[in-house]
Structure 1
Amino acid sequence: MSNTYVEPVHAGEFLLSEGAGQISREAIDLAPGEALIAGQVLGLVTASGQFAPYDPKAEDGSQTAKCILFASVASSDVARRGRAVVRLAEVSEALLTGLDLDGEKALASQFIIVR
């Protein structure tokens, strides 16, 4: 019997193209919570100003997709720093986590185009 290893999405692997230099990326504050993998679609929690996984059923601001987590982060009981693609990019739909049609439309308004 052999063990199968499924390799996670690597940092930035979902990017097909981005703006010159690193204009597409920013440092962000992530809400406390579970580990997140690169390619996680994020929304902005209005009250805290921290990003959390996009949740179309939420009512705290995270129901609107705003950006995509660039590199995976570990779970944490406190806010943590991360990097995200926030504008001017083309991304691979197959490598994103948490995306739906409304999220895709919201990302397009940030000039993040899903291919």
Structure 2
Amino acid sequence: MPLLETAVVASDWLKQEAENYRSRDTAIIASGSGKLKSGQVLGKLTASGKYVPSAATGSDGSQTAVAVLVFPVDATSADQKAVIVAREATASHNGLTWGSTINDAAKRAAAIGQLKAAGILVREGA
């Protein structure tokens, strides 16, 4: 019998946010981003203002981690509305999902620093 993959929910990674959902914004996830889980670290495309999974390098805005996806979305073939955490929050690193090119400790540390600059504190083991 195959093991079932457990869905990631916001409480897996979002440990504190500002009252009255001040930490959250609505956003558009760009078509082609794929199926994204809650906890996906996002970058914001400079040209369109849409969000995509954050990347380790680039020059289109995706290289800067600025937000985290609250609820899963499927943006495989169309733009999707989404709820993101964009400020005044504390997240556990264990529940976050990183872009495919953020694949080592140094790149994760850089993205964590970028999230901190946006007001999202990522804690180890929290």
Task: Provide structure 1 residue ranges, at least 5 long, that are not aligned to the other structure.
Answer: none
Count how many residue pairs are aligned between Structure 1 and Structure 2: 114
1:105 maps onto 2:110 in alignment? no
Mapping for residues 42-81 of structure 1, pairs under 5 Å: 42-81=42-81
Moved beyond 6 Å, runs of 4+: none
Percent identity over the alignment is 32
Task: Provide structure 2 residue ranges, at least 5 long, that are not aligned to the other structure.
Answer: 103-107
Contact 1:12 1:38 in 2 (8 A): no
- TM-score normalised by length of structure 1: 0.93
- TM-score normalised by length of structure 2: 0.85
RMSD: 1.3
Q: From the superposition, tell whether residues 77 and 6 of structure 1 become closer, same or farther in structure 2 (CA, over 3 Å).
A: closer
Deviates more, 1:32-41 or 1:2-11: 2-11
Mapping for residues 90-101 of structure 1, pairs under 5 Å: 90-98=90-98, 100-101=108-109
Corresponding residue number in structure 2 for 1:5 = 4
Measure the CA separation in 2 of the matches of 1:102 and 1:95: 17
Mapping for residues 12-23 of structure 1, pairs under 5 Å: 12-23=11-22
Q: What is the Cα deviation at residue 90 of structure 1? A: 0.5
Q: What is the Cα deviation at residue 12 of structure 1? A: 4.5
> What SS does the aligned partner of 1:13 have?
helix
Q: What is the Cα deviation at residue 58 of structure 1? A: 2.0
Mapping for residues 18-37 of structure 1, pairs under 5 Å: 18-33=17-32, 34-37=34-37
